[in-house]
Amino acid sequence: MKKVAIFGQAYKNTDRQYFELLIENLQKFQIEIYIEKEFTSILKSLGVENIDYPTFTKHEDLDNSIDVLFTLGGDGTILNAATIVKDLNIPILGINTGRLGFLATIQKKEIENTIQSLMAKEFTIQERAVLQIKSNSGNLDFDGINFGLNEITIARKNSTSMIGVEAYLNDEYLTTYWSDGLVVATPTGSTGYSLSCHGPIVMPESNNFVLTPIAPHNLSARPLVIPDNTIIKLKVIGREKEFFLSLDSRVSTVPFETELTLVKASFHINIIQMNQQTFINTLRDKLFWGEDKRNYT
């Protein structure tokens, strides 16, 4: 590890010591450091000193010479970092200064040991599938971003009325979901919004996507796990004129009758997993799996 980038969105003064600890441990190994420009401004406004490192702002500012992109925040910070990394194959490692953290799994107190483990190559890289989207009208407004690492979601807008989401899999009609919307999740996103809507948890390395309706009025409508090579086509119908479309945390308004096509992207996002951490451990830690007295007798 010779060159790294650091990305963050929000920053509490109480987290200052952890940022400084990260910098201190990187400097021990004489690692070249780049910091996202807006995050640098946030740090300076909070009084952090000695951060005159080279900066980056967008995808084009980075290249494959970056060994690791560190994020400081929660899972949402990693999702936004993914829009900068895109297809560069730069591995992302999340330091969790947020709350739950399925992606940002490094706790603040583990920073020093984590840097040492990275230098010793005690980690693996997980390739996380990405959902890509296009429309028949080409009117999607996401500032050039057309993919989601977690999920792509259709939701009703400014109305209590249900919407209908016509779904086709490989051009075969599946059903029309009469609901508040539909979540199409990757394995990474199966522990996000889809889970809140009673969707299944899918192991990260699974070659699947999940269709999870939001508050469906069809009693028979249930989450569906499909192969990730499926071409998904969706069209929204209803009383209103527009609906919300979200790609992870990015939201846009789209006219009804727009036909959306979702496919697995040709690239993936690399997430670093330290050797002492596994997805199963994360399930137990974050969702309290196994918190049953019978498991300890």
Given the residues 63, 75, 87, 141, select the one marked as catalytic.
75
Burial class (CB in 10 A: 0-12, 13-18, 19+), 297: exposed
CA distance 41 to 214: 39
CA dist 106 → 5, 73, 159, 204, 275 (Å)? 16, 10, 40, 17, 12
Q: Give the H/E segment covering residue 248.
A: none
Q: How far apart are CA 204 and CA 124, in angstroms?
A: 13
Q: Is 285 a catalytic residue?
A: no
Q: Which amino acid is at 297?
A: T
Instruction: Write out the E strands in 49-201.
Output: 55-56, 68-73, 92-96, 106-107, 123-128, 131-135, 147-148, 151-156, 163-169, 172-179, 181-185
Residues with Cβ < 8 Å from 107, sequence gap 6 or more? 95, 96
Catalytic residues, which ones? 75
